[in-house]
């Protein structure tokens, strides 16, 4: 299958091309030419995660990877579970934080790293990525120690949690980290500018591991299938038509993957894109006007994005009829509601963190009688230890992955949000 550039439609590349290039000409996002669909979803749902994921991904990648190669990649990448945990009679959480960096991004980053390693054939590559929190750790761990791949990660200085920062700034080796004096949108803009600079791009073999890279999103499709498979076992197939997913959204990669899954025939009724105060999308869906405000810092900091880079993919799916317009709604949840919701969830016996709480609250606004709401648990609560403990007034333990890096030294350098400084840095160490 080919992937085409949503801005420059004539640019068409295979999966390997899209993975290596990251972003197309004129900053266009790659999008699959066809969305595969499956006749027998029940048979797919009956399979184990890895076997099913190979079937789901195969049509997208078959030009570049045979079934054995894809199976090897998926087996190595998805070596941890995605788990549905019931919360109440009509609510469940899909826990996506059981990977090495305790965040949903482990699925996409590990799949991408294994694909890129296969496709780069020992050519030198620089992965330049911006993180609002968890991408950094997932990408750093997925690529750490891979020969010929240099990873440069930028993040907004002082705007991510200390533990999040420790998880990717302490590795060293082929992982370089830069604390940018600005917000996440500034970091993202620096990545985009770098991609616009042909000379820089070619000299250092630039690639991005942000969710603009289609491989990450394709990997994420697989856990929607896994969620529905687990629900069909728990609830029975007849109950499957009323599932509503609520997705804590920042760059809207997770929503994009969910829409792919629906377009492929997975029985999902609709999606709620839950945002924090950075509410460009809910306002856009209500008024039709795209008018990003200045990004504001919130306790669900990984969603502090006011110009989400995957929105063009979502918009394309809605406008071209790949999915129905009414299958996406969006709601903004404020800080107070987020914290009250964390307390409510704790009373139900579930310790959550701000991102999941935003999504749970959105279900309370957005579901109707008879619908079953699944919200995504995108990060382990311990990654937001301070805010969780302050909100709930009780201590929470650190899982081993976090305890191990908490005492390590941060190796980041500081930099102003200035493209010429970044360019100089990237070229100096090429």
Ligand X SMILES: Cc1ncc(COP(=O)(O)O)c(C=O)c1O
Distance CA 114, CA 174 (A): 16
Q: Give how far the C-alpha of residue 226 lies from the chain's centroid of Cα atoms, to the nearest Å.
A: 16
Is residue 278 within 8 Å of residue 298, measured between CB atoms?
yes
Task: Sheet containing 3-5: give its strands across.
Answer: 12-13, 3-5, 30-32
User: In the complex with ligand X, which residue's Cβ is closer, 230 or 246?
Assistant: 246
Residue 153: CB minimum distance to ligand X, A: 13
User: In the complex with ligand X, which residue's Cβ is closer, 65 or 305?
Assistant: 305
Binding site for ligand X (CB under 6 A): 103, 132-135, 211, 248-254, 302-303, 355, 378-379
User: In the complex with ligand X, which residue's Cβ is closer, 106 or 176?
Assistant: 106
- Please report, in angstroms and rounded to a whole number, the separation of the first and last CA atoms in the chain: 34
Residue 184: CB minimum distance to ligand X, A: 9
Residue 129: CB minimum distance to ligand X, A: 11
User: In the complex with ligand X, which residue's Cβ is closer, 96 or 426?
Assistant: 96
User: In the complex with ligand X, which residue's Cβ is closer, 207 or 251?
Assistant: 251
Residue 250: CB minimum distance to ligand X, A: 3
Q: Which of 130, 110, 134 is nearest to 379 (CA)?
A: 134
Residue 385: CB minimum distance to ligand X, A: 14
What are the helix and strand counts (H, E) for the chain? 18, 14
Residue 49: CB minimum distance to ligand X, A: 20
CB-based contacts of 222: which residues, under 8 Å, 6+ apart? 49, 52, 53, 56, 57, 74, 78, 107
Structure-block tokens of residue 157: 């200085």
User: In the complex with ligand X, which residue's Cβ is closer, 114 or 313?
Assistant: 313
What size, in residues, is the chain?
430
User: In the complex with ligand X, which residue's Cβ is closer, 386 or 416?
Assistant: 386
Residue 277: CB minimum distance to ligand X, A: 14
CB-based contacts of 89: which residues, under 8 Å, 6+ apart? none
User: In the complex with ligand X, which residue's Cβ is closer, 164 or 232?
Assistant: 164
Is residue 126 within 8 Å of residue 152, measured between CB atoms?
yes
Distance CA 429, CA 22 (A): 22
Structure-block tokens of residue 331: 């709601």
- Output the DSSP codes for 292-334: PPPP---SSGGG--SS-TTHHHHHHHHHTTSS-GGGEEEEE--
Which residue bears the tokens 């109950």? 239
Residue 47: CB minimum distance to ligand X, A: 25
Residue 260: CB minimum distance to ligand X, A: 13
User: In the complex with ligand X, which residue's Cβ is closer, 54 or 255?
Assistant: 255
């Amino acid at each position: 299958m080919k992937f085409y550039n949503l801005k420059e439609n004539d640019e068409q590349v295979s999966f390997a091309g899209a993975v290596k290039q990251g972003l197309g000409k004129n900053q266009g996002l790659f999008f699959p030419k066809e969305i595969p669909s499956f006749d027998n979803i029940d048979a797919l749902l009956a399979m184990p995660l890895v076997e099913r994921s190979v079937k789901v991904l195969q049509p997208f990648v078959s030009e570049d990877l045979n079934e054995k190669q894809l199976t090897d990649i998926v087996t190595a990448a998805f070596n941890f579970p995605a788990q549905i945990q019931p919360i109440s009679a009509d609510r469940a959480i899909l826990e996506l934080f059981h990977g090495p960096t305790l965040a949903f991004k482990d699925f996409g980053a590990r799949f991408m790293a294994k694909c890129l390693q296969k496709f780069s054939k020992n050519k030198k590559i620089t992965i330049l990525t911006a993180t609002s929190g968890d991408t950094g750790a997932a990408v750093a761990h997925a690529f750490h120690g891979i020969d010929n791949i240099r990873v440069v990660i930028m993040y907004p200085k002082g705007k991510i949690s200390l533990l999040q920062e420790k998880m990717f700034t302490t590795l060293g080796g082929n992982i370089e980290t830069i604390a940018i004096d600005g917000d996440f949108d500034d970091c993202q803009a620096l990545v985009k500018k770098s991609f616009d600079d042909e000379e820089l791009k070619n000299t250092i073999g630039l690639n991005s591991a942000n969710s603009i890279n289609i491989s990450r999103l394709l990997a994420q499709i697989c856990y929607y299938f896994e969620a529905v498979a687990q629900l069909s076992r728990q609830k029975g197939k007849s109950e499957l038509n009323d599932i509503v997913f609520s997705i804590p959204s920042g760059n809207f990669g997770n929503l994009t993957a969910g829409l792919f899954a629906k377009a492929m025939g997975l029985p999902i009724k609709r999606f709620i894109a839950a945002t924090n105060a950075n509410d460009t999308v809910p306002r856009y869906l209500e008024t039709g006007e795209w008018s990003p405000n200045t990004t504001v810092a919130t306790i669900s900091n990984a969603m502090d994005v006011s110009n989400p880079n995957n929105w063009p993919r979502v918009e394309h799916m809605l406008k071209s009829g790949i999915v129905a317009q009414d299958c996406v709604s969006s709601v903004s949840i404020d800080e107070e509601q987020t914290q009250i919701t964390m307390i409510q969830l704790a009373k139900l016996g579930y310790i959550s963190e701000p991102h999941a709480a935003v999504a749970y609250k959105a279900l309370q606004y957005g579901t109707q009688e008879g619908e079953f709401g699944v919200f995504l648990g995108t990060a382990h609560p311990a990654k937001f230890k301070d805010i969780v403990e302050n909100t709930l007034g009780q201590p929470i333990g650190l899982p081993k992955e976090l305890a191990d890096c908490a005492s390590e030294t941060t190796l980041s350098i500081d930099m102003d949000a200035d493209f010429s400084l970044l360019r100089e840095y990237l070229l100096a160490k090429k």
